[in-house]
Every structure is written in C-alpha cells, then in structure tokens.
Structure 1
C-alpha cells in the first residue's frame, strides 16, 4: 500500500482497494483512485463515504457513477482520442516512448502531433491531468536520491568535443549523485549517456562515443539517431539510473534514450521549475543558448531569495564562453555579491573541475 503526504492516499490497484476496505475504512476522503475497474465493487462503494474522493479514469457502472457524484466524489473520465495515459502512475522509459515500429509511429511522435493539432478544452484538460500525474510519479522516483542537474545546449553534436565532455561529466557525477537533465539531445543526451555508463570503464565510454558519432544529430532522421543510441544500450545493457525531464513544447527535439526514467511534460514552464527544484545537489551549466541562460537566472533567482541552508551550488563551465560569448557570469556574480549565495556560484574551465566542486559539496 502507498500513502503520500498528509491525508492523500493513492490507490492504483483493485488489490490495494480491497485490502484497505478490509481494514474497516468508512471514508474515502483524500483518496485518489486511478484506472480501476470498479464495476464489480458496487456494494463496497455504497458502504463508504466518498466525499472528497477523486476517481481518475475508473470504470464505473452508470448508476454507481451517478451515486458517488451525488455523494460528493469527483469523477474524471477518460479523455477521448488522447494518445497518452492521462492518469499514468509511473515515469516513461525510452523503450516506451520510442517503441519498435519507427519513430513516426511512436508514442512520443504521436503525442507531439496530437498536442499541436488539438486545442479543445478536453485536450487541455488531458494535458494538465497528465502533467499532474507525471509530477506525482516523479516525487516517488526521486525519493531517497541525491540529484544533480546538468543544463546545456541541444546543438552539441555527437563526435564533438563538447559532447564528449558532457559524457565525461555525467559519468563522474554519477559516482556520488543521480544526474538529471532536460532529457533532450545534445549536451543533455551526452550527460545521460555518461550517467548510463557510470558502471562501465572508460573504454566503454570511448566505444559508445564512436558508435554514436556515426549519426551526429537527430536531423534528418530521428530514427537513425535513436537507433544508434539503442545500439549502445544493447552493447552495454547494464546501464545506471539517470533522469530526463523533456517537454513536448519542444516536440521537434526527441528525448534521448539514455535516461532510465523520463518525466515528459506538456507544459515547459512547469517542467523547468520542477527540474531546478529537485536538483538539491546543485546545477552544472554547460555552454548553451537561450534556454540555458534562462535556466541560469531562474536558478539564480531561487538561490537569491533562499536561506543559506537551502542554496544549491551553481557551476558554470567555460570561462570564455560565459564571460565573452554569452556573458552571463558577470551578471550572476554581481547578483550574488553580498548574498548568502555568493560562496555557492562558481565559474570553471573544465568539466573535471565542475565535478570536483559538486562532489566536494556532498
């Protein structure tokens, strides 16, 4: 049985439902029942107070549904034509998102196409409920883990030095943390790759980088790009855990296949806030463009107003990049001056220096 914060009780199986009622429960207040076939539980439903209970995509007889609504329950039915499980209880896996029939027929591609095509109230409701469910599943997944985030540009191509650096960083950080990224291509894929291969030796990483370099990017073929990643996973099947948090807002960019768990959201603002929030071990910022700069100052804002015990380290990698090409560092340093966060913001040259700072802070 599973219980979440406060008086909220998540019930995801009939076995759990029956067991709880066998204890003599008389009120379902605060219960969230997901995807249960309750058509044979009429007597049980009539025997309890359902005020404040939430029924999410549960199968109910017509009379039973009318009864529990009249007695104070909230019922959310399935949303027609939505390609996703609106009330799912776990994070995605790369295998689930990509499938086996080609990327254009994958859940990931179909969901993006649907999100661009549908603008109805039902579609908006389905997306909001889906993101809420992903948030709950993510809370469960991160529990007991010490996460460090790595942000960086989606344009870092396989075969480039910046990509290899990201993989080295992910592998180093995974010795003490679980790495989390935005879950997309480029630097994000590289870091998840490093996290995936954390249990293997350096020769394995070199071999993986060589395999991937044959398909540098997801254009013109997402399928070929993904196939190279799955070839690496097949070659090295015992991958370590890491997290990706991508979004269908940028659905033209596919998720990477190296994050063992994928919390994919429709709403980018929600995804960005959650990604920064859960990385209590700090954030490393690799060279990137608009999205990475946004994340730097979104994280800086959180640290600026935080008390000293809640500040998460910020490490920018690439002195010339962050002082000349995109001079975020001078502004970040000025913002931090005189604040508790001042001792927790760093500018370094190499990913090795970045990893050392994060690991030393554990």
Structure 2
C-alpha cells in the first residue's frame, strides 16, 4: 500500500540515523546509557554522551521553537484502523487543528497515527516525536514534521515544553507513563497547570476508580489531585478545554467524571 511518506518495513531509527537489515541491532541508546554493569569503560564514554544528548535538545528546540500553540495526543501504538478509537483519534487531530492548534504525537502507529492523520488532512501542523525502540520502525506517514530521538528524557522535554495540554486516548504502559509524568509535573508545580483529558469513559473509569478508592483512600494523594483529569467521550469538550486554557478562561482542570 502506498501513502504519503511511506517507509519500508524493517527500518530502525537511532536519532537521525536509519538502519536496515544486518545493520539493525536489538539494543537502544537509552539502554546503553543506563546500564552500568560490565566493564568500567562507561566512566570514560559517558561524558562524551553529553554532547549527543545536548544535540537532541538543540535539534528539538530548533525544530519546534516557532510551532505556536500545540496539544500533545497520546495513545496506543496497537490501536488498529478498525478500532473506534482510531476514528476518535482522527477526530481529535482534525478538531484541534480547526481550533488553531498544532498536534504533537509520539509519531508512531495506531492512535498516534490517527491523530497525525486528522491534523494533516485538516491542513494543520502534524508533528511526530519519534523514539528509538527495538519493536517500532520510525515515524508514521502522516507526520509532516518529525524528530527522531535516542533518549526518552529529551523527547519528553519536548512534549512538555511545546504542548499546552494533553489528550490521552486508550493506551498501554507507554501511554500511562506519559500521562502520569504530565500529572506529576503539574502536581509538583514543575510546569504551569494545563488541561489533561482522558478520552474514553469505559476505558479509563477503572483506573480513576482505583485512584479514588485505593490511592486516595490510603492518603497517598489528595482530592485535588483527582481534579487534574477530565474524563469524557466528547471530543468537542476536550477541544473546548484546550481553547479555554489557551485563552486563560476558567480552570484548566475538571473533575474526573463524564459531563452531563
């Protein structure tokens, strides 16, 4: 099947470097950075890695500095085109663009591809922040401006710096990591508070019930922490919250319940 920016199967990206066939290895740059086992030569090589890390920040800041208002969209790479949430992701991307936002995703397949597709087809800025992984193959075909990162922490910085809010579609461990990191940064006042919308009442309700009935009940979080989420199936509500936050109107968070 042909399509915009289509890439052959089997490609692997390590930052700006593309590898195929015998050149593909099973490790990642993050793995090598964080692994202190084995020989002590890491003592001598790690300082040089700082230059590579620095280059990722420079490339990211340079590429996104003039992006304008943007919303990060998270979701599973495993979401199939026939899944209702793929169509929901396209709607999210399209309506965010219509409201004057750029759309930033992780650049992968599934829900990320859907949001990029909606944004690109609507004529907006469709951004993908890719990451070197052993089981994914670069940016999806609907990314119009993409950056491939070696290091998760550099990539996450770009999400937080250039997004004014987040829409979180159903996803797995990676999506949960991105969701809770965003909430932690708001909770600890490391970033200016921004709206976080969980899209999919049936999917996310169990998580919020556990947070309320177990985590809150045990005193591990406060009631106000639950107000950092908005839970809905309504794309128009999600977009409206982003617009209100951009314009400084009303609170940037809503209680975790489905709107009446």
TM over 0.5: yes
Distance change (3 Å), C-alpha of 1:361 and 1:157: same
Work out whether residues 103 and 127 of structure 2, in 8 Å CA contact, stay in contact via their aligned partners in 1.
yes
1:361 alignment partner, one of 245, 249, 258: 245
Work out whether residues 60 and 158 of structure 2, in 8 Å CA contact, stay in contact via their aligned partners in 1.
no
1:186 and 2:186 matched: no
Distance change (3 Å), C-alpha of 1:289 and 1:128: same
1:318 and 2:200 matched: yes
Structure 2, unpaired ranges of 5+: 33-40, 247-260
1:166 and 2:89 matched: yes
The alpha-carbon deviation at position 104 of structure 1 amounts to 4.3
> Which has the higher Rg, Structure 1 or Structure 2?
1
The alpha-carbon deviation at position 354 of structure 1 amounts to 1.6
The alpha-carbon deviation at position 292 of structure 1 amounts to 1.0
1:295 and 2:205 matched: no
Q: Report what 1:331 is aligned to.
A: 211
The separation in 2 between residues aligned to 1:256 and 1:268, in whole angstroms, is: 18
Q: Report what 2:132 is aligned to.
A: 248
CA deviations on 1:208-229 (whole Å, 9 max, x unpaired) are xxxxxxxxxxxxxxxxxxxxxx
TM-score of the superposed pair, with normalisation by structure 1: 0.52
2:149 alignment partner, one of 265, 283, 291: 265
The alpha-carbon deviation at position 353 of structure 1 amounts to 2.5
TM-score of the superposed pair, with normalisation by structure 2: 0.71
The separation in 1 between residues aligned to 2:115 and 2:202, in whole angstroms, is: 22
Distance change (3 Å), C-alpha of 1:350 and 1:117: closer
The alpha-carbon deviation at position 290 of structure 1 amounts to 1.0
The separation in 1 between residues aligned to 2:60 and 2:209, in whole angstroms, is: 31
The structure that is strand-richer by fraction is: 2
The alpha-carbon deviation at position 356 of structure 1 amounts to 2.4
Q: Report what 2:162 is aligned to.
A: 278
